Amino acid sequence: MKKIALLATLITGAILLYSTKDFAPWGDPHSPASVHVSNVYIEKSVEQTHVPNIVTAILGDYRGYDTMFETVVIFSAGMAVIGVLRRPKE
């Protein structure tokens, strides 16, 4: 069992590592990830939301839908723990 697990782990790791060869060099400001969408956030977010912390702007507004569900995830976790563990009062 442990051997299989180790093998699976190694294979997964090898695949992941091998594919990093196609990535842009680390820290490259011209990598696709840095020039497509994110630069617009950096340039426009202050103008469009008046929030200097770009992360907060994206979190709260551009991707606010994600964040809403993130809150709901936390809320659900609380509910799940109550449901699983808490004993109802007599």
Q: Please list every residue from 17 through 76 that binds another protein, using CB under 8 A.
A: 17-29, 31-43, 46-76
Q: Which two tokens stand for residue 1?
A: 């069992």
- What's the min distance (Å) between Cβ of 13 and another protein? 4
User: Nearest to residue 52, comparing CAs of 61, 40, 42?
Assistant: 42
* Vertex 67 angle, CA 56 and 28, to 5°: 55
Q: Which residues contact 24 (CB under 8 A, 6 or more apart)?
A: 30, 31, 32, 33
> Total binding residues for another protein by CB under 8 A?
81
Please check whether residue 60 is in contact with residue 52, taking contact to mean a CB–CB distance below 8 angstroms: no
